[in-house]
Structure 1
Amino acid sequence: MIGQLIVLLAGALTIAVLTVLIGPAVFHYHLLQTDLPVDSSELVHIERAYRDALALALGVGLVVSLLAAGVVTWNLARRLRQSLHGLTLAVDELSRGHYSTRVPSLGAGAELDSLAATLNDMAARLDAVEETRRRLLSDLAHELRTPIATLSAHHEAMADGVIEPEIAMPILAGQTVRLSRLADDISEVSRAEEGQLPVELRLVTVDGLLASVLQEWDERFETAGVALRQDIDLHHSATIHADPDRLAQVLGNLLSNALRHTSPGGTVTVSAWAHGETVEVAVTDDGEGFTAEDRSRLFERFFRVDSSRTRENSGSGIGLTISRALVDAHGGTMTAASDGPGQGATFTIRLPRARPAR
């Protein structure tokens, strides 16, 4: 505001000085062009009247202009200060970890409104990250609670002589392996989400890769009493740039997930087809399915559709997370779809086809 007032005062002084210096001289020149004598009293009174009228009009006009400009400048500065104060408070709250804070509508111009919208978007993202972190810590605590409780109970039982060490040792060893596997799972999913899992790309034929994976899983499905079908529609041998071991890991995770959620007598179908510049591979089952709410969380770490399941019955809950990270590393996408509980599920992988060499 002080800067604006300085500019206004400088402009007012400039107008006043120029008017006082130039106005009377020009007026006096035009008076000399009349027939009035140079030293006549009429000429003196006319010039004095002009100077008085000019001074009065200029003084009143400058005062009114300065007052109006000052009021407008003060109002603008006040609104800007209030808007910036609101932004400052919101940023301060965010810096203290209150990610639910939102900047209210400022109404102070498109630029500040855009800044407020950007801050709100950032706050929403930070809030989502914080919610994921809390959920991850809760999941970790849940995963650790059972083996730790088992280890503690058996150690107390051995100390009290209730159970013999020879009987407790297999249980203790199993729970120790479970903790070790959980630590490995956490490490692997962290590396996957950070894009640090090594991927060695080379030309791979999709039908050859699928044939190898299906042959490996055929016996497991037969033992579980679930039919494993294939519907591969690749008229030409479609090739992709991929790491066959990593893609086999992805397909293995999807087949394992489908087998775990499909009852005996059900069917799992692996489909593949070329669509333009992409190759799509889908794993479809007629098992438990999932809700629309669960679909938004399927690829989150340690998420399981049925939270009552144990790790032994439903896996670690990171297979889909790692699978999507690996597909992303190949430049592709992975999606999930289901018509609802009991209606089965379909997981689709889309990968870019390898361009033919010239």
Structure 2
Amino acid sequence: MNRRHNPPIPAARPGSGFGTRLLIAQTIVILGGAAGAAGVALLVAPQLFHTHVQHAGLDPASPEAGHVEEAFTSSIIVAFSVALLSSVLLALAVSIVLARRVQRSIAAVVTSTAHIADGNYEVRVPASRLGREFASLTGSVNDLAERLDTVEEIRRHMLSDLAHELRTPITTINAHIDAVEDGIRTPGVHTYTVIRSATGRLHRLATDLDSVSRAGERQLHIEPQPVSVAALAASAIREAQPGYDESGIVLTAGPAATDIVDADPARIGQTLANLLGNARRHTPAGGTVTVSSRRRDRHWVDITVEDTGDGIAADHLPHIFDRFYRTDTSRNRDTGGSGIGLTIARALAEAHRGTLSATSPGLGRGSRFTLTLPLSRSVPARRRADRLSAGRKHSVGHEPAHKVD
């Protein structure tokens, strides 16, 4: 793993830590409050007592009144001093414990983020019991480390895949050129076909890399127009049918929505072709892939590609749309894809203000990919679709009265 070594974090000066500053601030507040309470008590209590002595009928100048007031003042000083001292010590003890816990938690976060910045993504911040905010902070740092660890693993696989994808066609081209130069092979149709196939593979790889780069930068160009959802699904099925026939997989059309969406037919066709190609690769001969569509609500319509194939493990589901991620690394590019197609498919869905999601009951139980698109903003198109939908509901749920027995 290549790690980026950052400059060391400067050591904090003694007394400059957050925990120390928090303790000093709390100590100042406690001592200030105690001093204020003592000052108020010593100024107010004797005067109030002197007033009550006068109301009791004692002569303020008499020795008895002076003795009583002196005894009251002394008892107030002693009692208040003991109470303040106990309160201050208890408050300081609690503040010290709290400040140390806060300082340890902050130090753990700082240490962990420093390791993460240095490329060690396996580090985790221990759970904190200082409240919801600290728990959220530690959880966010741990999530960041986990995501970066996943990205780093994908990057390593990506570099390995790229090296393999480049090496194979280049080796093929060099081998045939060497054979021609050494007189082992005579240039002909077969040689040119092999070389053209290898260069085509390199061209596809370069195109995929450019597409995934554009997808990451949200620069995919689309030209939306009102188009029927049923037409999009039918076109995708028609184009994918020959490949399914060769693989011995049944490709069927399920219920189709009659709604209109604002979409780029070529781009949505690319997305559906990718989903159907992915389903074909992961469905064994004799399996079934179904394409259907339905209106979700007043604003959205779903196009679903569901297969009876390999399925997707739960730990793979959150990552299958990540670039260069493949659930089965043993597959090569020709049989298992490069791990770019689903990334581009989701980017195209998002470029249409839609989403692309995947679900699976588990391995060996098939999977379902759902492309969600917003209904057309065109008022006439929307009205036509609504009338068609209302007509179907009427014919099913509201039979004429004379037909009722």
Range moving further from structure 2, 252-261 or 42-51:
252-261
Q: Which of 34, 42, 48 lines up with 1:26 in the alignment?
A: 48
Report the equivalent of 1:136. Answer: 158
Q: 1:153 to 1:67 in 2, by over 3 A?
A: same
- Residues 249 and 284 in structure 2, CA contact (< 8 A), matched pair in contact too: no
Cα shift at 1:33: 4.5
Cα shift at 1:18: 3.0
- Residues 332 and 352 in structure 1, CA contact (< 8 A), matched pair in contact too: no
- Residues 238 and 353 in structure 1, CA contact (< 8 A), matched pair in contact too: yes
3-state SS in 1 of match to 2:226: strand
Report the equivalent of 2:210. Answer: 187
Cα deviation code 1:201-238 (max 9, x no counterpart)? 1110233344444555556666x37577553544x743
User: Is structure 2 residue 313 aligned with structure 1 residue 290?
Assistant: no
User: Is structure 2 residue 66 aligned with structure 1 residue 47?
Assistant: no
Q: 1:72 to 1:250 in 2, by over 3 A?
A: closer
Report the equivalent of 1:246. Answer: 267
Report the equivalent of 2:253. Answer: 231
- Residues 253 and 323 in structure 1, CA contact (< 8 A), matched pair in contact too: yes
Q: 1:3 to 1:311 in 2, by over 3 A?
A: closer
Cα deviation code 1:294-334 (max 9, x no counterpart)? 96355444455665554345554433332233233331434
Range moving further from structure 2, 212-221 or 323-332:
212-221
3-state SS in 2 of match to 1:199: coil
Q: Which of 62, 65, 71 lines up with 2:93 in the alignment?
A: 71
CA-atom RMSD in angstroms: 3.8
For residues 275 and 17 of structure 1, the distance between their equivalents in structure 2, rounded to whole angstroms, comes to: 72
Range moving further from structure 2, 77-86 or 311-320:
311-320
Q: 1:21 to 1:351 in 2, by over 3 A?
A: closer
Cα deviation code 1:16-41 (max 9, x no counterpart)? 33333333333334334556555543
Cα shift at 1:179: 2.3
Q: 1:115 to 1:314 in 2, by over 3 A?
A: closer
Runs of 5+ consecutive residues of structure 2 not aligned to the other structure:
1-22, 384-405
Which amino acid in structure 1 is aligned with residue 95 of structure 2? Answer: T
3-state SS in 1 of match to 2:127: coil
For residues 38 and 281 of structure 2, the distance between their equivalents in structure 1, rounded to whole angstroms, comes to: 90
Which amino acid in structure 1 is aligned with residue 42 of structure 2? Answer: V
For residues 60 and 254 of structure 2, the distance between their equivalents in structure 1, rounded to whole angstroms, comes to: 112
3-state SS in 2 of match to 1:50: helix
Report the equivalent of 1:80. Answer: 102
Q: Which of 356, 369, 392 lines up with 1:333 in the alignment?
A: 356
3-state SS in 2 of match to 1:97: coil
- Residues 147 and 175 in structure 1, CA contact (< 8 A), matched pair in contact too: yes
Which amino acid in structure 2 is aligned with residue 247 of structure 1? Answer: I
Report the equivalent of 1:98. Answer: 120
Report the equivalent of 1:178. Answer: 201
For residues 263 and 25 of structure 1, the distance between their equivalents in structure 2, rounded to whole angstroms, comes to: 97
User: Is structure 2 residue 49 aligned with structure 1 residue 6?
Assistant: no
Q: 1:230 to 1:353 in 2, by over 3 A?
A: farther
Report the equivalent of 2:226. Answer: 203
Q: Which of 77, 81, 88 lines up with 1:59 in the alignment?
A: 81
- Residues 327 and 334 in structure 1, CA contact (< 8 A), matched pair in contact too: no
For residues 41 and 304 of structure 1, the distance between their equivalents in structure 2, rounded to whole angstroms, comes to: 99
- Residues 207 and 232 in structure 1, CA contact (< 8 A), matched pair in contact too: no
User: Is structure 2 residue 375 aligned with structure 1 residue 353?
Assistant: yes
Cα shift at 1:111: 2.6
Q: TM-score, normalised by structure 1?
A: 0.78
Q: 1:73 to 1:164 in 2, by over 3 A?
A: same
Cα shift at 1:43: 3.5
For residues 327 and 68 of structure 2, the distance between their equivalents in structure 1, rounded to whole angstroms, comes to: 98
Q: TM-score, normalised by structure 2?
A: 0.70
Cα shift at 1:282: 4.2
Cα deviation code 1:265-313 (max 9, x no counterpart)? 8766544455554544444566xx2143296355444455665554345
Q: 1:64 to 1:238 in 2, by over 3 A?
A: closer
* Identity score, percent: 41
